[in-house]
Each structure stands twice: as structure tokens, then as C-alpha cells.
């Protein structure tokens, strides 16, 4: 998993987002992480506020590899085996 070095100050840490809502929805549901994409909070904002939030935080959209790795890790913690639900 891509993470920041221990020497990076909080303000310098990369901010990641993963949009979970469908395009065109009134509200944007998304995951937001600072420094460690696997440690995120789930947020909901009106579309205009989301766009301001993203600009203010200079966010990086999680790519498909990052998303897959995070999802596999979540399955591992929930079900005990990486990438296997049963």
C-alpha cells in the first residue's frame, strides 16, 4: 500500500478520495483519507461543496489498483482470508 514516509508533516500528506456515489447524484458519497488510503472516513457532501472540498484539500483520486488492494484488505479483516469471502 502506498503511504507517506514518517518524516512527512501532516500538512504535506497526500489526501485521497474514492467516490462511491453515481455520477450526477445530488450528493456525493466518498471515502477520504490523509496519508494512508486504507484508513478513511466516509463522507457525504452536496456536489458543489464536494468540488470545493477537493480543491481545498488538493485530493488525489484513488486508482483502480489502490481501490482493489483496499477492498481485498477489508475482506481479509472481515472474513479472515485476503480476497475470499467464504
Instruction: List pLDDT tens digits, range 40-60.
Output: 999 999 999 999 999 999 999
> What whole-number distance in Å separates Cα of residue 35 and Cα of residue 67?
15
In the predicted structure, residue 85 carries a pLDDT above the cut 70: no
The mean pLDDT of 65-79, rounded to a whole number, is 87
The mean pLDDT of 60-68, rounded to a whole number, is 94
For residue 86, what pLDDT band results from cuts at 50, 70 and 90? low
46 backbone dihedrals φ, ψ, rounded to 5°: -60, 150
> What whole-number distance in Å separates Cα of residue 26 and Cα of residue 83?
33
Helices and strands, number each (H, E), in the chain: 2, 4
Q: Write b or e for each residue in 37-57: b if 16 or more Cβ atoms lie within 10 A of its Cβ, otherwise e.
A: beebeeeebeeeebeebbeee
Amino acid at each position: 500500500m502506498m503511504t507517506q514516509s514518517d518524516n512527512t508533516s501532516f500538512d504535506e500528506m497526500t489526501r485521497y478520495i474514492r467516490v462511491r456515489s453515481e455520477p450526477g447524484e445530488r450528493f456525493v458519497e466518498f471515502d477520504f483519507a490523509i496519508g494512508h488510503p486504507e484508513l478513511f472516513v466516509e463522507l457525504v457532501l452536496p456536489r458543489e461543496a464536494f468540488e470545493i472540498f477537493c480543491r481545498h484539500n488538493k485530493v488525489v483520486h484513488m486508482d483502480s489498483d489502490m481501490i482493489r488492494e483496499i477492498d481485498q484488505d477489508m475482506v481479509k479483516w472481515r472474513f479472515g482470508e485476503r480476497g475470499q469471502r467464504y
